């Protein structure tokens, strides 16, 4: 597994393919800091997760806390590996684009409640 939930704090850690596709060592849970040892070969878990060995570790690429259908990112600095940045000093809030070139949100619109069945888009359930 590349998506591992901490038994202690319940935070889900995403072991990204860049860092962990072939990896033997610890990762540090983004929620509670617990160290877990894993051995991964070609994406497959060969050993672990078990209690961490030693003090060296890598941070997961992403982490979140899941409560039902709510996912809360746990990406504070130091919990997960830092993002690639276009500007090292960039601290502002990103202003995402909202409209397509045609002036509507065809590709990116938030789904309306009537389009959902539970939390899932009806189209993909068909």
Partner 1 sequence: MGDNGKCLWPLSPAPTFDEVYQGAPEQEIEYNRFLESVMHPRESGKKPEALDGIRVLDCSTGMVIGHWASSMLSELGAETIQIEPPEGDELRKLTPFGRKDWYFKDKENGEEIGMHFLHEMRNKQSITLNLETEKGREILKKLAANADVLIENAAPGQFDAWGIGYRQLSKANPRLIYCWVGQKGQWGPDKDRPGELEPTAQCACGFTHGTGFPKSFGGVPTRSGLWMCDHVGGTTAAMGIITALIYREQTSRKGQFIEATGAEAIIRINDYNWAWYGMDGSIRPRYGNWDLAINIYAVNPVVDGYLMVGGGHDRLWYRIWKTVGKDRPDIEELIVLDKDLRVVTNRVSHYAQVKTYTALCEWGKDNTRQEAEDKLLSEEVASGGVLFIDEVAEYAHFKYRGHVNVIDDALYGKVLYGTSPIFAEKTPARLKWIGRPIGYDNRDVYPRLLGYTKKDLNSLSKEGVI
Among 7, 8, 10, 44, indicate the residue that binds partner 1 (CB under 8 A). Answer: 44
Q: State the nearest-atom distance from the C-beta of 86 to partner 1, in Å.
A: 4
Q: State the nearest-atom distance from the C-beta of 9 to partner 1, in Å.
A: 18
For residue 24, count CB atoms less than 10 angstroms from its CB and return exposed for 0-12, middle for 13-18, buried for 19 or more: middle
Among 1, 8, 10, 56, indicate the residue that binds partner 1 (CB under 8 A). Answer: 1
> Residue 121: which residues within 8 A CB-CB, separation 6 or more?
111, 115
For residue 13, count CB atoms less than 10 angstroms from its CB and return exposed for 0-12, middle for 13-18, buried for 19 or more: buried
Which parts of 81-110 interact with partner 1 (CB under 8 A)?
A: 81-87, 90, 94, 96-98, 105-110
Q: Does 36 bind partner 1 (CB under 8 A)?
A: no
d(CA 47, CA 7): 17
The binding site for partner 1 (CB under 8 A) comprises 1-3, 14-19, 21, 42-44, 61-62, 64, 69-71, 73, 75, 80-87, 90, 94, 96-98, 105-111, 119-121, 123-124
């Amino acid at each position: 597994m590349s998506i591992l939930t901490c038994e202690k704090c319940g935070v889900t850690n995403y072991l990204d393919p860049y860092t962990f596709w072939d990896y033997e060592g610890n990762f540090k849970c983004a929620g509670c800091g617990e160290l877990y040892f894993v051995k991964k070969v070609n994406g497959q878990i060969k050993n672990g997760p078990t209690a961490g060995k030693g003090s060296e570790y890598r941070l997961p690429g992403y982490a979140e806390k899941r409560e039902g259908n709510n996912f809360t990112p746990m990406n504070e600095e130091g919990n997960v590996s830092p993002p690639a940045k276009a500007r090292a000093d960039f601290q502002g809030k990103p202003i995402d684009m909202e409209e397509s070139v045609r002036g509507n949100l065809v590709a990116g619109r938030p789904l309306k409640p009537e389009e959902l069945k539970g939390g899932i888009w009806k189209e993909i359930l068909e």
